[in-house]
Structure 1
């Protein structure tokens, strides 16, 4: 097979695999292949990297070299693609059931439980300080006789903070909001996961659809079948961002391990591993940010398509949110496989519900 035909074959295979694979799998795989090729071309496996040798190999690209890089990236991406779900679970904190995995998970869970509690305490302390400072300012600005008749109210405090005089309290307001937001990023204490990504996904897993009595995990497959196409496209885009960040994080870990193995005895050259380590950290933080956007898309999908779900299940449409929550108790049990009694309301079709043909009118004599 010639170099040109090899390049054409590799490119044509990539074009037929699909958009999801090419973005989520191909780009991280290409990075890993290029990094590995750079280590090999520089002679890092045999001693200290030779930059002149690296420049010679990469400075003269040929069709054959490009074709082999593309082909190696395709093969690497094909092997990594089925492992996507396992990669996400690994970064979430599902590390298995062996003793070492359980110990590590417990250590990290305990860390995040303490961190959430500490954030709550700090937020409460800042709120108390802000309240004392505001009350002190109101006392200074008010007539003592008036305060004896009309004690300070929440409206007085809010009025002060909303006015120009409230500018002095901006640092405390910002600190309280920041600490409160950070604490809210965690799920309930009994549901905390051992990683930041796991806590981000678990928090919304527990909250999405809760106001309607819907369980997001149970109903997610059903929503993907009844939701509008444009809503699903938005959901897929956010999921693709999450998967790409997770894949890049994993291949960066592999590149870091590969770099350490090659340069372990090469003294200062080992510092090159800091580059891939930094990329691992950035990719992980990007995956957390992508998880926020993905879970927001899940919440929006439930908000906009829950009535389509009820109609598809032939369940009576609720007349109020209270009625909706009450009905969904049985609906969720049914979708979980629990035998329960749910009343159905079938749409009018214009034909008898039994499906039998209407009787033929008798002929006139």
Structure 2
């Protein structure tokens, strides 16, 4: 996952250099191996360079994903462009909601309308109903990639400039919130408590997301380099076109991987939220309302822990009404009855 996204632009640059593409017209015949020793040495140097670059870029993997998510406040140009893309995402979300309503109304009309007279008319209406139902399901799936509408009285969840960012934010603002937990601050505490099977599939989904995001950036770099190197060669314009197409495919794949990733995050809260209470020696709730209030109070403690609030006695101030449950305490030693007590019990029986 770390080597391949680095290898793609590195090998491409090596091919362009060997073909002298930056100095004029490309001579692709230079790619034919001539000296085995020199070629093997170049391959070994390329492998070493790719490995070193992969190790150097690995700490920036999170920033690569966040860049594709739309966290563009760090650069003045992207900060200026962000509101434009946010407006586009807002209109796209509103358009999906309106499309779902129109399709739902049309399906309702087909259901209440009188039956058609001819067999051909009945088949036509059935085909139309099937198409409308399929279109409605597709629109609903796309709408689920956006953050859900909050309850009355709560502020609207802001959208991000990209579809990937909104797909991830949809999970970050709903997985734990369904039970009163704030997902972003409670997830680092819940993750170590996951079962082995769930942790495995979650790690696989995360690797798929990271790989798709890295390949998206890699193919975009290849596109830029290809445009710069092959600008005077119209016959080779298919190379940057293919690179741009692979960049778009990788980005679409990252959105699909993000949907899978957020699904596993929701499942983790569904199955292991009480393990978080057990790990913190908190008393388990008995009702849904009690669970929501307890998790909301616990989330408030997690949020205040990350702010500038004084840490001294923070748990006692926020979780003041909660009682600890220490299930792992050793049981009190029991004294064995004496012989006369044992005989007395037998007599009573």
Q: TM-score, normalised by structure 1?
A: 0.78
What residue in structure 1 maps to residue 121 of structure 2? none
Aligned-partner SS, 1:45: helix
- 8 A contact 1:191–1:202 mirrored in 2: no
Deviation of 1:53 (Å): 1.2
What residue in structure 2 maps to residue 145 of structure 1? none
Encode CA deviations 1:216-242: one digit per residue, 9 max, x unaligned.
211111112222233222211111111
CA distance in 1, matches of 2:127, 2:221: 50
What residue in structure 2 maps to residue 328 of structure 1? 295
CA distance in 1, matches of 2:190, 2:34: 51
1:75 aligns with 2:55: no
- Mapping of 1:18-97 within 5 angstroms? 24-56=1-33, 62-97=39-74
CA distance in 2, matches of 1:235, 1:73: 28
Aligned-partner SS, 2:113: helix
1:173 aligns with 2:153: no
1:221 aligns with 2:188: yes
Gaps of 5+ in 2: 118-124, 150-155, 306-313, 333-349
Q: Find 2:166's aligned residue among 196, 199, 210.
A: 199
* Structure 1 pair 71–97 and aligned structure 2 pair: CA distance change class (3 A): closer
What residue in structure 1 maps to residue 225 of structure 2? 258
* Structure 1 pair 201–57 and aligned structure 2 pair: CA distance change class (3 A): farther
1:349 aligns with 2:329: yes
* Structure 1 pair 313–97 and aligned structure 2 pair: CA distance change class (3 A): same
- 8 A contact 1:30–1:73 mirrored in 2: yes
- 8 A contact 1:41–1:54 mirrored in 2: yes
Deviation of 1:62 (Å): 4.3
- 8 A contact 2:145–2:259 mirrored in 1: no
What residue in structure 1 maps to residue 92 of structure 2? 115
Deviation of 1:44 (Å): 0.6
Aligned-partner SS, 2:329: coil
Q: Find 1:279's aligned residue among 233, 246, 249.
A: 246
RMSD: 2.8
Deviation of 1:59 (Å): 9.1
Deviation of 1:58 (Å): 10
- 8 A contact 1:213–1:328 mirrored in 2: yes
Moved more, 226-235 or 104-113: 226-235
- 8 A contact 2:83–2:161 mirrored in 1: yes
What residue in structure 2 maps to residue 244 of structure 1? 211
What residue in structure 1 maps to residue 335 of structure 2? none
CA distance in 2, matches of 1:229, 1:236: 10
Encode CA deviations 1:72-97: one digit per residue, 9 max, x unaligned.
11122122111101101100001125
- 8 A contact 1:41–1:53 mirrored in 2: yes
Total equivalences in the alignment: 310
CA distance in 2, matches of 1:346, 1:172: 56
Gaps of 5+ in 1: 1-23, 142-164, 353-365
What residue in structure 2 maps to residue 319 of structure 1? 286
Encode CA deviations 1:17-65: one digit per residue, 9 max, x unaligned.
xxxxxxx211111222211111111111111111211224699984323
* Structure 1 pair 253–168 and aligned structure 2 pair: CA distance change class (3 A): closer
